[in-house]
Chain A
């Protein structure tokens, strides 16, 4: 593989492109099949009278229009901001909590039932309560996203901090390490792969919950825009927005996978 790409460097640019496509032929095929099936279903009016508007071609045109008139940025940026703010707040709360709960066995037992109970509740169920406390708007949305992001972060960190090898702990102790040293040099680095897994899950579920959460009375964001396009009967823009949601979600997940490959140690 490495040898091959070296040779291509010497050969030509087009050789490199061919090589690039060769390695990913089936991924490209998957994308093409997906778009083709979608287009055919729409052309055959598989989704009723509005089928035309749902097709990838109409969506692509709408996408161009939305790129030009600024709708994409106008709604994608608030959505990303809400997710990133709530994720940051979730990380700040969940990682230390997870490390402590994972390290101190009593704490794990104390929190076990409440955590397992709480994590099974859809954050949308809290929505009316969030609105009573925080009012309609950004704060409520951020709170709901925070609430959904903390569980995968906490539970994975607990798992990582809890399965630290007793050999490592003994070794650190025989070097005179106290609780702080053990936490910072052994427990936390040992738990990093699990923290990153938790982060990946948290990002995924936050991005999913974002859309319904933004339907709760905020004036912008991709979730809001879905309802807005519906109300304006612009189903081509609705499809384009769905596409943007999927694309940003995919990029966020890719970023997470990159973090994992970069920072998660392996045995």
Chain B
């Protein structure tokens, strides 16, 4: 079923950037094998915005970590532009479910880290580039603060700026907007779509919020409790999806219909038992 939907999106003018075939990841749990991700086939096109949803424990983070190169699949292959992924790289910027700010650096210095690693050395240049993204995530007033002084939401926004400033070709985002207030979330939705349209990156975005999934995605992949991709749903809603356009007469209706469809699929997937073998 997954393959059928893939073909539809993949056969357009966009070329395939990442391809997963038969990707499985097993972990040991209480002496038993646990399939966190099970037989996933997926093709992600260049400049696509793919959202992955699924119940908790369905393997979304695990799938993302394998694409990032932090963990190898137990079996199956993940290819990036035809090359097997061997480890993490600057072309795939990952935003982690847990934030990873360096406690000895201020927000500004944390955001500058990626630039330093890339070899940008001019202090002024570094600061200007970093402040761009700090402003964007709404942390201007906290640029000089240390991570201990930040709230959870501020830490999330800071880690977002940290990765965005490195302009990765592929953005892997694991619940980046979880636990943010709705106003910040709205701003960041706008910004991430603007960045995506402007910089033509490819985004794989994990979330548990279906509104967010429908609002952002080109396609939505639904994972179930067994770590399988149970369905890939195309999102035909026209862009832009913010502001006035969202007021078009049938937009709301179509939005809700799509969300219900996704919700149904997630519910079915959550009803299954996790697969231990």
Contacts and interface: CB of A to CB of B under 8 A. Distances in A.
B148 A174 contact: no
Interface core residue of A175, A189, A190 (most chain B CB under 10 Å): A175
Interface string A126-169: 00000000000000000000000000000000000000010110
Contacts of B66: none
Contact of B98 (A167, A173, A186): A167
Nearest to A172: B117
B116 A189 contact: no
Contact of A176 (B98, B100, B117): B117
A190 to B, nearest CB: 8
Interface string B81-96: 0000001111111101
Chain B residues touching A, range:
20 to 34
Interface in B59-97: 68, 70, 87-94, 96
B100 A171 contact: yes
A170 B148 CA distance: 20
Nearest to B172: A174
Contact of B92 (A174, A177, A185, A266): A174
A171 B99 CA distance: 9
A181 interface: yes
A171 B98 CA distance: 11
B176 interface: no
Contacts of B87: 173
A174 B102 contact: no
Contacts of A186: 102
Interface string A245-267: 00000000000000000000111
Interface string A43-63: 000000000000000000000
A175 B90 contact: yes
A265 to B, nearest CB: 4
B68 A174 contact: yes
B166 interface: yes
A110 B172 CA distance: 38
Interface string B142-176: 00001010000000000100110010100010000
Given A266-B148, A267-B148, A174 B103 contact: no
B104 interface: yes
A132 B148 CA distance: 54
Interface core residue of B90, B93, B96, B102 (most chain A CB under 10 Å): B102
Instruction: Give the dominant DSSP class at A's interface.
Output: helix
Given A174-B94, A175-B93, A175-B163, A168 B117 contact: no
B46 to A, nearest CB: 20
A167 B163 CA distance: 14
Contacts of A176: 88-91, 117-118, 166
Nearest to A175: B114
A203 interface: no
A165 B113 CA distance: 16
Given A168-B102, A170-B70, A189-B104, A175 B117 contact: yes
A171 B163 CA distance: 9
A192 interface: yes
B222 to A, nearest CB: 26
Nearest to A176: B90
Given A174-B68, A175-B166, A189 B102 contact: yes
A267 B98 CA distance: 16
A12 to B, nearest CB: 37
A260 to B, nearest CB: 13
B103 A267 contact: yes
A168 B100 CA distance: 6
A170 B68 CA distance: 10
Contacts of B118: 175-176
A170 B96 contact: yes
A167 B104 contact: no
A200 to B, nearest CB: 19
Contacts of B116: 185
B106 to A, nearest CB: 11
Contacts of B89: 174, 176
Contacts of B88: 170, 173-174, 176
Interface in B82-138: 87-94, 96, 98, 100, 102-104, 113-114, 116-118
A29 to B, nearest CB: 36
Contacts of A192: 104
Nearest to A168: B100
Given A175-B118, A177-B117, A192-B104, 19 more contacts: A171-B94, A172-B113, A173-B70, A174-B88, A174-B89, A174-B90, A174-B94, A174-B163, A175-B93, A175-B113, A175-B166, A176-B88, A176-B90, A181-B117, A189-B102, A189-B104, A265-B104, A265-B146, A267-B103
Interface of B: 68, 70, 87-94, 96, 98, 100, 102-104, 113-114, 116-118, 146, 148, 159, 162-163, 166, 168, 172
